[in-house]
């Protein structure tokens, strides 16, 4: 994508954020209210098809442009980015591994936002160890019958389709060979309940009970069973780049709020920005933002190249999300008691940031991935 085209897209996103999101973000967030009106405007902008190819009605944006969009959105209200990020991970799995018939049937409706959803991986007793999932899909003729529970699933309540990781063979060894990915639209037996959270409010995160839900065999992603774990893990690279971009956005927003406040707030007759203790905090915050952005850009470019990018995405996700946590804490300290009030945006940054270090693979897991990739890429 050329620079002029990218700038037009980013300018459109900035206008949307300034005119539509910023005026309502605080009230919707405090009420933990789903932003239905914003979702309709996001459909018009094409955000639900941001990374879907133009062939299927999407914008076909590279990850490098997509990451810039996510950073900007997250700097205003991070929850909005979650509404289309999980959705696009699902779409990436369909576009990369689905049959042509599946792509034609689902991707145009996903790109328009008619179908919105995400990925259903986590279960009450299964998070990082996805091979331990218990949700089952038993084939009966031309259908799969799904039973089980998924938890912490974004877009499961207000959305209408999920890519669900299931066990189709309980006895397969190794275990991942018994796992498959199925597209499940809302129907009888699909019961979603909204869960309460510390932050990341507004966007719906739910527990989903699948009680004998029947889906056509044609909803299996890929040509055969047993490839579900590999399919979804390949899509998580884009998810981790997205979470890294969210980290950059929250870290930057924390810095911007602190810079403004530090130049207005006075102690001992001078702005606190003139105190060395505050200057050190601002310098560290700004450095984290720039480093996080560069790592995220590198990861996005690696993803766009088509090469494996576990290392780059893991580094970006690790550093950018830790930067968000650290900057949000420093912002709260710089603002003092005012930062502790829900009337101040830095209180929201402080509540939102912790999600980033556990979502899309914990940062402890990212460190393991990074180390393994370092060894693999640098054999002795």
pLDDT at 96 exceeding the cut of 80: yes
Q: Is the domain of 107 the same as that of 186? A: no
Radius of gyration, CA atoms only, the chain: 21
Same domain, 371 and 234: yes
Q: Tell me the average pLDDT across 31-42.
A: 97
Predicted local confidence at residue 130, as pLDDT: 79
pLDDT in tens, 111-147: 999 999 999 999 998 877 777 899 999 999 999 999 9
Distances (CA, A) of 72 to 8, 111, 245, 326, 368: 14, 21, 9, 19, 29
Of 77-86, 126-135, 264-273, give the lowest mean pLDDT range: 126-135
Q: 27: Cβ–Cβ under 8 A, 6 or more apart, which residues? A: 33
Q: What is the DSSP string of 17-34?
A: IIIIIHHHHHHHHHHT--
Closest CA to 359 of 85, 37, 92: 85
Q: Are residues 369 and 265 in the same domain?
A: yes
Region 277-303 average pLDDT: 97
For CA atoms 164, 167, 169, 174, give the dihedral sign. positive
Q: Are residues 220 and 350 in the same domain?
A: no
**177 and 136 housed in the same domain:** yes
Instruction: Report whether pLDDT(254) > 90.
Output: yes
Angle at 11 (CA atoms; ends 10, 16), nearest 5 degrees? 95
Contact 70, 249 (CB under 8 A): yes
Domain shared by 234 and 218, yes or no:
no
Question: For position 248, what pLDDT does the model report?
Answer: 98
**Residues carrying an active site annotation:** 360
What's residue 99's pLDDT? Answer: 95
Do residues 370 and 255 share a domain?
yes
- The mean per-residue pLDDT over the stretch 199-215 comes to 95
Domain boundary (181, 200, 225) is at 225
Report which DSSP code applies to 341: S
Mean pLDDT of 260-285: 97
pLDDT of 205: 94
Beta strands in the chain (DSSP E): 117-120, 136-140, 143-154, 161-167, 179-185, 190-194, 205-216, 266-267, 270-271
Q: Report whether the peptide linkage leading into residue 62 is cis, meaning its omega lies within 30 degrees of zero.
A: no
Pair 21, 86 in one domain: yes
Residues 102 and 154 in one domain: no
What pLDDT shows up at residue 1? 77
Give the residue from 84, 211, 232, 65 showing the smallest Cα distance to 136: 211
SS3 content of the chain, % helix, strand, coil (to 5): 60, 15, 25
Considering the domain architecture, whether residues 240 and 280 belong to the same structural domain is answered as: yes
Nearest CA among 240, 110, 97 for reference residue 162: 110
Predicted pLDDT at 360: 87
> What's the maximum distance between 2 C-alpha atoms anywhere in the chain?
79
**What is the share, in percent, of the chain residues with pLDDT greater than 90?**
88
Last residue of a domain, one of 112, 145, 172: 112
Question: How confident is the model over 208-223, as a mean pLDDT?
Answer: 95
Joined tokens for residue 306 = 């088509």
Q: Spell out a b/e string for 259-270, using b for 16 or more CB atoms within 10 Å of the CB, else e.
A: bebbeeeeeeee
Provide mean pLDDT across the span 199-219: 95
pLDDT of amino acid 279: 98
CA distance 184 to 214: 9
- The whole-number pLDDT of residue 265 equals 96
User: How many structural domains are present in the chain?
Assistant: 3
Residue 125: Cβ within 10 Å count? 11
Residue 37 pLDDT > 90: yes
Residue 36: the pLDDT is 97
265 shares its domain with 364: yes
Residue 127 pLDDT: 75
Q: Is there a single domain that holds both residue 235 and residue 220? A: no
pLDDT at 158 over 90: yes
Q: Across residues 262-268, what is the average pLDDT? A: 96
Question: For strand 266-267 and strand 270-271, is the pairing parallel, antiparallel, or unpaired?
Answer: antiparallel
pLDDT of residue 132: 82
Q: How far is CA 192 from CA 81, 173, 199, 215, in A?
A: 21, 32, 20, 17
**What's the rounded mean pLDDT across residues 223-248?**
90
What is the reported pTM?
0.94
* Mean pLDDT for all residues in the chain: 95
CA–CA distance, 161 with 347 (Å, rounded to integer): 33
- CATH number of 240's domain: 1.20.140.10
pLDDT confidence of residue 312:
96
Q: Which of 194, 225, 256 is the last residue of a domain?
A: 225
Cα–Cα distance, 80 to 108 (Å, whole number): 22
Task: Read off the CATH number of the domain in which 179 is found.
Answer: 2.40.110.10
Q: What is the pLDDT of residue 327?
A: 98
Please give the pLDDT value at position 93: 93
pLDDT value at position 273? 97
Residue 85's domain comprises: 3-112
């Amino acid at each position: 994508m050329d620079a002029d085209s990218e700038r037009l897209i980013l300018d459109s996103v900035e206008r949307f954020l300034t005119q539509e999101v910023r005026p309502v973000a605080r009230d919707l967030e405090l009420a933990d209210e789903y932003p239905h009106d914003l979702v309709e405007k996001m459909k018009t902008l094409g955000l639900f098809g941001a990374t879907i190819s133009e062939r299927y009605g999407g914008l076909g944006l590279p990850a490098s442009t997509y990451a810039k969009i996510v950073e900007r959105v997250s700097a205003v209200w991070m929850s909005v980015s979650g509404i289309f990020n999980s959705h696009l991970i699902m779409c990436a799995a369909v576009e990369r591994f689905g049959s042509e018939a599946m792509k034609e049937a689902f991707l145009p409706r996903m790109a328009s936002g008619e179908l919105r959803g995400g990925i259903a991986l986590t279960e009450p007793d299964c998070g990082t160890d996805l091979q331990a999932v218990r949700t089952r899909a038993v084939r009966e003729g031309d259908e799969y019958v799904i039973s089980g529970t998924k938890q912490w699933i974004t877009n499961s309540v207000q959305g209408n389709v999920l890519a669900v990781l299931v066990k189709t063979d309980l006895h397969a060894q190794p275990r991942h060979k018994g796992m498959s990915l199925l597209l499940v639209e809302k129907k009888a037996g699909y019961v979603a309940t909204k869960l309460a959270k510390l932050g990341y409010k507004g966007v719906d995160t739910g527990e989903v009970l699948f009680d004998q839900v029947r889906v056509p065999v044609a909803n299996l992603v890929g040509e055969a069973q047993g490839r579900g774990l590999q399919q979804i893990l390949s899509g998580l690279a884009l998810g981790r780049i997205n979470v890294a971009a969210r980290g950059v956005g929250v870290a930057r927003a924390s810095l911007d709020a602190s810079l403004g406040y530090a130049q207005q707030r006075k102690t001992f007759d001078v702005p606190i920005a003139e105190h060395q203790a505050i200057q050190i905090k601002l310098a560290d915050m700004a450095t984290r933002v720039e480093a996080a952005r560069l790592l995220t850009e590198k990861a996005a470019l690696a993803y766009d190249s088509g090469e494996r990018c576990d290392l780059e995405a893991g580094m970006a996700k690790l550093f950018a999300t830790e930067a968000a946590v650290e900057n949000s804490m420093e912002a709260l300290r710089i603002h003092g008691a005012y930062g502790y009030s829900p009337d101040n945006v830095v209180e929201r940054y402080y509540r939102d940031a912790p999600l980033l270090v556990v979502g899309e693979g914990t940062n402890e897991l990212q460190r393991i991935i990074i180390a393994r990739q370092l060894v693999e890429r640098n054999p002795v």
